[in-house]
Amino acid sequence: MSVKPIFFALDGTTLNEFEFELNKLKGHIYGVKVGLQLFISEGPEVVEKLKNQGWTVFLDLKLHDIPNTVKEATKSASVIGADYLTIHIASSSEALYEATVNKGSDLKILGVSNALTSKAMSEEISNKVNKEFTIAKENGVDGVICPSSEIAKTKELFELIVTPGIRLENELQHDQKNISTPQFALSQGAKFLVMGRSIRKNLNYIINELQI
């Protein structure tokens, strides 16, 4: 069975509401993404539950705090079993460094740029993103959250590129302007994709027909 390089975004308040999809997707996709809403609602135990089910867990908390707090939060994320953790690059170079040297051997740090929003990408924003990604690289961050339009530039810095805003060919854009198909993002150099609504709306297609 071929495992698709996809993180399923668990954007909700309880893990139970994703039980059907998780059971169906097991063995077909790479992992799941736990965001701030679910993490606060369910608590750190949600990571343990998912790990016990055999999932790779991407903890999308977008840490943004003073260096010592980021360091300790990163340690905690490692202890509860997270495999990936997001941190705002704007937290400062010192905070990024503290995270990368205290993360443990099994946790990957993913940098997030403050310049990325739901707005369409412009040259000015693209330049800001590239500058922040360069800072992340200089401070030992493992990879970045990167929209499809910036992958070609970003892969000169990182191999670990995680791309959100993924939609199937016939889907509406909803709230994200910088979107692409799974095939396009992977062809540009993304390593993993983040998909939420598209999976829930097209579950059988994702499992049985999507070729990536």
- Which amino acids are annotated catalytic? 62
- Residue 91 in tokens: 């937290």
**What burial letters (b/e) apply to 185-203, b meaning 16+ CB within 10 Å?**
bbebbbbbbbbbebbbebe
Which amino acid, residue 192?
A: F
In angstroms, what is the C-alpha Rg of the chain?
Answer: 16
CA–CA separation, 198 vs 195, rounded Å?
Answer: 6
First to last CA, the chain: 13
- 184: helix, strand or coil: helix
**What burial letters (b/e) apply to 137-148, b meaning 16+ CB within 10 Å?**
bebebbbbbbbb
- Residue 65 in tokens: 């705090």
- 156: helix, strand or coil: coil
- 185: helix, strand or coil: helix
**Which residue in the block uniquely carries the two structure tokens 């954007």?**
11
